[in-house]
Amino acid sequence: MKYNNQVYRSFAMIGQFGISILVPIGLCSAVGYYLDQYFGTSFLFVLLFFIGALAGFRNVYLFSRKIYKTKEKDSYEAIRKEATLSTSHNTKDQKSKKKLQGSRDEKEIDNK
């Protein structure tokens, strides 16, 4: 059974989003917990948890922006390539039409 390659890419992207959020939150929370235990405070864990959450969401934002730009660039290149192909076909068609028109004109002159 052959699966679509796009499905695997989507799963990989979802995994990257999850890791990009969880790692900063986990690391900042662990550091906050350690600092709270060391200094005997109780607010550093919460503070560093939110800093980690902000860092994680920033990572996801930057990653999604990069993906969007890549897709936009790919679609632009596809449109450009299609336009180039259609233009080259039109140019060839116009040249062949001119040749046909020229040969018709020559035949008409020869017939007179």
What confidence score (pLDDT) does residue 86 get? 67
45-101 pLDDT, tens digit per residue, is 999 999 999 999 999 999 999 888 887 777 777 777 777 776 655 555 566 666 656
| pTM for this entry | 0.63
In angstroms, what is the C-alpha Rg of the chain? 31
